[in-house]
A and B are shown apart, each in its own frame.
Chain A
Amino acid sequence: MTAPVDDPATDERLLSAFLSGDTQAFEVLVLRYRSPLYNLLLRSVRDPQTASDLLQEVFLRVIKRADKFHGSAKFSTWIFTIARNLTIDHARRMQHRRHRSLDVPLGAKEGDAPSANGTLVDRVVGTDVVGERAVDSQEIQRRVAAAVELLPTEQREVFLMRQLQGLAFQDIADVVGVPVNTVKSRMRYALERLQAALADFEDHLEGTR
Chain B
Amino acid sequence: MSTCEQHQDNLLEFILDELPSAERRALSDHLSECEVCPAVAQRLRRGLALAATLPIEEPPASDTKAIMRAARERSGDASTSVTASTSMLPFAMTGRWGRVRAFLVRPQVVMATVMLLAVAFGAWYVPRRAELGQPPAATMTQPLVVASSGVSAPEEAPAGPDGGEDSAAGGAAQPAPAPPDTAARLERGLQAYGRSDYVAAIDELNAVVSAPDADEVAWTSAMHHLARSYQQNGDCASATRRYEQLFRRSPSYNRSNQAMLEAGTCYRTLGNEARARELLEVAAQDPATREAAQTELQLLGEPPRARRPARQPASRSGAPTAPTPSQRPRHSDAPY
| Interface of A toward B, CB cutoff 8 Å | 1-2, 18, 21-23, 26-27, 30-31, 34-35, 38-39, 42, 44, 48-49, 51-53, 55-57, 59-61, 63-66, 68-70, 72-73, 78, 81-82, 84-85, 87-92, 95, 99, 101-103, 120-121, 124-125, 137, 140-142, 144-145, 147-148, 150-155, 157, 159, 163-164, 169, 175-178, 181-182, 184-195, 197-198, 201-202, 205, 209
> Which of chain B's residues have a CB closer than 8 A to the CB of A70?
335-336
The 28 listed contacts between A and B (C-beta, < 8 Å) are A34-B63, A35-B59, A56-B90, A59-B67, A70-B335, A70-B336, A78-B333, A81-B331, A84-B333, A88-B325, A88-B326, A92-B156, A103-B317, A120-B318, A121-B318, A124-B316, A147-B50, A148-B54, A151-B314, A153-B320, A153-B324, A153-B325, A163-B54, A187-B12, A191-B48, A194-B47, A195-B47, A201-B50
CB distance from B108 to the nearest CB of A (A): 25
**Binary contact readout B316-332 vs A (1 if CB under 8 angstroms, 0 otherwise):** 11101011111011111
Q: Which residue of A lies closest to B61 (CB)?
A: A34
Please determine whether A21 and B75 come into contact, CB atoms closer than 8 angstroms.
yes
Q: Is the interface of A mostly helix, strand, loop or mixed?
A: helix
Q: Which of A23, A181, A191 contacts B68 (CB 8 A)?
A: A23
Contacts of A84 in B (CB 8 A): 328, 330-331, 333
Residue from A30, A125, A192 within 8 A of B47 (CB atoms): A192
Contact status A61-B333, CB under 8 Å:
yes
CA distance A157 to B112 in the complex (A): 44
Bound: A187/B11 CA distance, A: 11
Question: B326 contacts A198, CB within 8 Å?
Answer: no
Partner of B71, one of A1, A26, A142, A201: A26
Contact A52 B60 (CB under 8 A): yes
Task: Take A52-B60, A163-B51 as given contacts and tell me if A192 and B318 are in contact as well, using a CB distance cutoff of 8 Å.
Answer: no
Contact of B12 with A184 in the complex, beta carbons under 8 Å: yes
Q: Are B11 and A69 in contact (CB-based, < 8 A)?
A: no
Category for how many chain B residues contact A = 35 or more
CB distance from A80 to the nearest CB of B (A): 9
A66–B191 alpha-carbon span in the complex (Å): 32
* Contact A35 B58, beta carbon cutoff 8 Å: yes
A63-B71, A189-B312 given as contacts; is B323 within 8 A of A153 (CB)? yes
Kindly provide the distance from the CB of A144 to the nearest chain B CB, expressed in whole angstroms: 5
User: Is the CB–CB distance between B316 and A125 below 8 Å?
Assistant: yes
Bound form: Cα–Cα A198–B53 in Å? 12
Counting chain A CB atoms within 10 Å of each CB, which of B11, B57, B89, B336 scores highest? B336
Q: Are B46 and A57 in contact, with the CB atoms below 8 A?
A: no
Q: Are B326 and A91 in contact (CB under 8 A)?
A: yes
Which residue of chain A lies nearest to B313 when distances are taken between CB atoms in the complex? A152
Q: How far is the CA of A69 from the CA of B11 in the complex (A)?
A: 36
Q: How far is the CA of A168 from the CA of B314 in the complex (A)?
A: 26
Contact A30–B64 (Cβ < 8 Å): yes
Which of B50, B51, B88, B326 is A95 in contact with, Cβ under 8 Å?
B326
Residues of B in contact with A (beta carbons under 8 Å apart): 9, 11-13, 43-44, 46-60, 63-64, 66-68, 70-72, 74-76, 81, 84-85, 88-90, 156, 158-159, 163, 196, 234, 309, 311-314, 316-318, 320, 322-326, 328-336
Is the CB–CB distance between B54 and A144 below 8 Å? yes
Q: Which residues of A contact B84 (CB under 8 A)?
A: 60, 63-64
- Chain A residues with Cβ below 8 Å from B330 are 84-85, 88-89
Question: Among the listed A88, A102, A185, which residue makes an inter-chain contact with B328, where contact means beta carbons less than 8 Å apart?
Answer: A88
**In the bound complex, CA of A103 to CA of B317 (Å):** 8
Residues of B within 8 A of A92 (CB): 156, 325-326
Q: What is the bound-complex CA distance between A52 and B89, given in angstroms?
A: 9
- Tell me which residues across on chain B come within 8 A of A91, comparing CB atoms: 324-326
Contact in complex: A177, B331 (CB < 8 Å): yes
In angstroms, how far is the closest chain A Cβ from the Cβ of B319? 8
Do residues A63 and B74 form an inter-chain contact, with CB atoms below 8 A? yes
The reply to whether A39 and B63 form a contact with Cβ atoms under 8 Å apart is: no
Q: In the complex, A124 Cα to B318 Cα: how many Å?
A: 11
- CB-CB under 8 A from B311, the residues of chain A are 189, 192-193
Partner of A144, one of B51, B89, B163, B312: B51
B85 to chain A, nearest CB (A): 6
- Bound complex: CA A23 to CA B72 (Å): 6
Contact A69/B335 with A121-B317, A153-B323 known, Cβ cut-off 8 Å: yes
